Amino acid sequence: MQTLRNRLYEIIEVSDGNDRWSSIYDVIMICVIVVSLIPLAFKQSTPLFDVTEKITVTVFILDYALRFWTADLKLHRGAASFFLYPFTPLAIIDLLCILPTFVAISSGLRVLKVIRLMRAFRVLRALKMLRYSRNLLIIIDVIREQRAALCAVFALAFGYILISALIIFNVEPDMFDNFFVALYWATVSLTTVGYGDIYPVSAAGRVITMLSSVLGIAVIALPSGIITAGYMDHLNRDTQR
């Protein structure tokens, strides 16, 4: 039995390229995840989509059950692993991908917003692909290793957004109904997206917008540089090993 559990654990964990069955399992799960997302691109449900939902959810349940059964091999905490595993980030994502299908909603309550919310939770299935791609797992490791630098950059971005919003809100109070709208403008300017739905009309406001956009390029580029450098360093360490 223990040998079977060990082999199942090797299969369901992301393949390193040397285990054929593990690679096949990863490909199958990615395909199942993609198929499960197709109905979300349509407003109306069909009998085919209903069948697809039942099949894909069944696969997700089996995957969750196998991972729970081998939790001690993953966490190395003995019997406590079976209590800790459901609270790990990826296990929570797995559970959120399954639960919407089993939520019973009475049509008499007319809770359309709740229905749409539970439907939207299915989008989280795309995050399940993190389990089955080694490159994505490397990026997660890089983010974990560089979390101090990334947190500093995000704190800088948040502070910049807050200050920009305060400045523009006081410079052009007629263009911004409330402070949240100013925060929205500051975020859009920082990321240099520029939707054009909200924009300043005074000379001072436009100067602030230009400065915000120019400085935003530098701030937004920092996380990309940190992650890229960490990713290359991780690959070099793997090559040396």
Spell out the domain ranges in the chain. 2-132, 147-240
Q: Mean pLDDT over all residues of the chain?
A: 79
Grade residue 123 by pLDDT with cuts at 50, 70 and 90. Answer: low
φ, ψ (nearest 5 deg) of residue 231: -65, -45
Grade residue 65 by pLDDT with cuts at 50, 70 and 90. Answer: very high
Predicted model pTM: 0.61
Distances (CA, A) of 119 to 70, 91, 138, 168: 30, 19, 30, 38
pLDDT of residue 115: 47
Tally of CB atoms within 10 A around 143: 15
CATH of domain 147-240: 1.10.287.70
Grade residue 39 by pLDDT with cuts at 50, 70 and 90. Answer: confident
pLDDT of residue 83: 92
Grade residue 68 by pLDDT with cuts at 50, 70 and 90. Answer: very high
φ, ψ (nearest 5 deg) of residue 44: -100, 140
- pLDDT tens digits, 194-229: 677 777 878 888 888 888 778 878 787 888 888 888
Distance CA 49, CA 57 (A): 12
CATH homologous superfamily, domain 2-132:
Voltage-gated potassium channels. Chain C (1.20.120.350)
pLDDT of residue 116 exceeding 60, the answer is no
Handedness of CA 168, 172, 173, 178 (dihedral sign): negative
Distance CA 227, CA 22 (A): 28
- pLDDT tens digits, 135-145: 777 777 788 88
Please, which residues have CB within 8 angstroms of residue 196's CB and are 6 or more apart in sequence? none
Alpha-carbon torsion angle 154, 94, 122, 150, nearest 10 = 10
Grade residue 62 by pLDDT with cuts at 50, 70 and 90. Answer: very high
Work out the average pLDDT over 42-66: 86
**Residue 77 tokens, joined:** 């905490």
